[in-house]
């Protein structure tokens, strides 16, 4: 029986794991976390999926209890800027397309659409443009059919939800880790501030104990590796093989800035912006009191010095006195996330660059699946094997979705973008892309493994980047388009009404404080 779990590494991954396991098992399982007081965390993963709300609900937190402590703000979508051409943008929103006569509005748009796809098909695009909060002044969500941020519904996991929640969060990952550390310790997580000097294995090759600098030997039944790109336990000790994704996703470095901002005078945009650059792309993540921004790039096509210069030029004078953080990224995943009695969660397990904000999503999914596959008295290897299968499928699915962004953009204006179009595709993707030239993606034509992205997300990227199927869905030929035109008008009217009645994002967050 696993009674003693030892997590190595703090940061977002470590403390999300600790608080989640504590919320699941209470005093039935001892959870200890060993983190070095001398090693910094990467701390740039500030944007999330809408599924992250399940994490906060699961550990029993309402928004007003954690958001002000973490400089948090709402995220309704990702805005893609200049991916299809200069001064062009579109939104990938947390909103499923509506259906009319059995077909999505995306299909109907191909037949009768007259304006930009995202503005005509989704309410959230207008809320993004107007910088609105998704919640009303009293705290109720704009869509009354869904749980609002003040409610705590039953515990759910990410791939068990039957609705698309309309927002995620931006937050300071370092502040969140500190907040969760305080929460976890109050609830019974044992924190050990110390450096791990050696990892000792038993005669079977499993991890027996850690040797720390000041606290001596620390024993456990199950060890969780949250040591980031180092992979101290899973890679360095147990020798897990790392599978690089750089053959299809060449970005291997990033430079990040934390830019102060006055939200009251400038407002707070409720979306992440991903702006195409000469050798990669730049993120802009608005928080309550600053903006997190960075340039993700390929070291084959630019230098760290040039990348920093380009990022500062992109941000403008506000970045002049801000210190830059340069990061080397290990893009790919371990062949196995769980080896012997060690599970890798977070960057130690894998990373598929920051596009689409998947870093914290992978952490959350890894934790949820660990609870689902938690070892029983027999420690069945079938649990470990299935965990590894699910995690590998999740990473591989995200890999393909991100590759789609670059290939559908079809930019040719710099050496980097020319090279992108000549890279190989992940297995099976060429056939799927050929199919999508005739039909929009659906549940039968995207990777079946759970990876967080629904078929409509693929359709949004293709249509947003100008990749329309050759002709509308044949089923529409015999249908009257009047009902679809009326639905498009309802989207427009609802969006206008919400823009006129919802508070701005800054107003709502200031009120929360």
272 is in an annotated binding site: no
Separation of CA 188 from chain center: 28
196 is in an annotated binding site: yes
Please report where in the chains the tokens 């499923």 appear, as a residue: 96
393 appears as a binding residue in the annotation? no
User: 292 labelled as ligand-binding?
Assistant: no
352 annotated ligand-binding residue: no
DSSP H/E element including 508: helix 505-512
220, 59 in Cβ contact below 8 A? no
Looking from the CA of 477 toward its CB, the CA atoms found within 13 Å total 4
Task: Report the C-alpha gap between 185 and 86 in whole angstroms.
Answer: 49
Residue 315 assigned as binding residue:
no
Catalytic residue among 75, 111, 213, 437: 75
Radius of gyration over every alpha carbon of the chain, rounded to an integer in angstroms: 23
**Strand 350-351 vs strand 332-334: parallel, antiparallel, or unpaired?**
antiparallel
447 is in an annotated binding site: no
- Please indicate whether residue 111 is annotated as part of the active site: no
Distance separating alpha carbons of residues 189 and 7, to the nearest angstrom? 10
Q: DSSP alpha helices (H): ranges in 67-201? A: 105-112, 117-121, 124-129, 173-187
At 18 the three-state DSSP class reads helix
Cβ neighbours for 6, distance < 8 A, ≥ 6 positions apart: 32, 33, 34, 210, 218, 219, 220, 222, 223, 224
Would you say 10 is a known binding-site residue? Answer: yes
Q: How far apart are CA 135 and CA 132, in angstroms?
A: 9
Is 11 annotated in a binding site? The answer is yes
Residue 2, classed as helix, strand or coil, is coil
Cα distance between residue 135 and residue 329, in whole Å: 36
Strand order, beta sheet including 4-8: 190-193, 30-35, 4-8, 222-225, 342-344, 338-339
User: Binding site, residues?
Assistant: 10-13, 75, 196, 347, 356, 360
Active site residues: 75
User: Binding site for 7-chloro-L-tryptophan, residues?
Assistant: 75
User: Binding site for FAD, residues?
Assistant: 10-13, 196, 347, 360
């Amino acid at each position: 029986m696993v009674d003693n779990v030892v997590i190595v590494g703090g940061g977002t991954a470590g403390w999300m794991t600790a608080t989640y396991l504590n919320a699941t098992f209470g005093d039935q399982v001892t959870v200890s976390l060993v983190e070095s007081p001398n090693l910094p965390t990467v701390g740039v993963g500030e944007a999330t999926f809408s599924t992250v709300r399940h994490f906060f609900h699961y550990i029993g937190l309402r928004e007003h209890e954690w958001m002000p402590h973490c400089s948090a703000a709402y995220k309704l979508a990702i805005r893609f800027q200049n991916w299809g051409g200069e001064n062009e943008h579109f939104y990938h929103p947390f909103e499923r397309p509506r259906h009319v006569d059995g077909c999505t509005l995306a299909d109907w748009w191909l037949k009768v659409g007259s304006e930009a796809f995202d503005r005509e098909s989704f309410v959230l695009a207008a809320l993004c443009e107007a910088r609105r909060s998704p919640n009303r002044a009293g705290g109720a969500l704009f869509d009354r059919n869904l749980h609002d941020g003040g409610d705590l519904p039953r515990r759910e996991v990410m791939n068990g939800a039957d609705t698309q929640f309309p927002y995620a969060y931006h937050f300071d990952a370092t502040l969140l880790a500190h907040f969760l550390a305080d929460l976890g310790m109050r609830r019974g997580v044992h924190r050990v501030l110390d450096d791990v000097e050696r990892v000792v294995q038993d005669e079977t090759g499993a991890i027996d104990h850690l040797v720390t600098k000041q606290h001596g030997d620390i024993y456990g039944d199950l060890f969780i590796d949250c040591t980031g790109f180092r992979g101290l336990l899973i890679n360095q000790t147990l020798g897990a093989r790392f599978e690089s994704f750089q053959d299809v996703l060449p970005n291997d470095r990033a430079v990040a800035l934390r830019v102060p901002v006055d939200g009251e005078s400038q407002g707070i945009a409720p979306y992440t912006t991903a702006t195409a650059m000469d050798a990669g792309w730049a993120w802009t993540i608005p928080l309550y009191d600053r903006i997190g921004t960075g340039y993700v790039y390929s070291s084959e096509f630019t230098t760290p010095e040039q990348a920093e210069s380009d990022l500062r030029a992109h941000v403008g004078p506000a970045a002049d006195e801000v210190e830059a953080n340069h990061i080397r990224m290990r893009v790919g995943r371990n062949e196995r996330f769980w080896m012997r009695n060690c599970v890798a969660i977070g960057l130690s397990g894998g990373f598929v660059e920051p596009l689409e904000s998947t870093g914290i999503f992978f952490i959350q999914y890894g934790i949820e699946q660990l609870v689902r596959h938690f070892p029983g008295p027999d420690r069945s290897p079938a649990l470990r094997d299935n965990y590894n299968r699910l995690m590998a499928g999740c990473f591989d699915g995200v890999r393909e979705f991100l590759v789609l962004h670059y290939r559908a953009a079809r930019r040719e204006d710099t050496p980097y973008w020319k090279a992108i179009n000549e890279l190989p595709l992940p297995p099976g993707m060429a056939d799927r892309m050929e199919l999508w030239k005739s039909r929009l993606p659906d549940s039968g034509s995207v990777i079946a493994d759970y990876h967080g992205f629904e078929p409509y997300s693929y359709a949004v990227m293709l249509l947003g980047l100008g990749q329309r199927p050759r002709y509308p869905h044949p089923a529409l030929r015999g249908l009257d388009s009047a009902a679809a035109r009326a639905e498009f008008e309802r989207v427009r009217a609802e969006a206008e009404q919400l823009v006129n009645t919802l508070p701005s994002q800054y107003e709502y967050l200031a009120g929360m404080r």
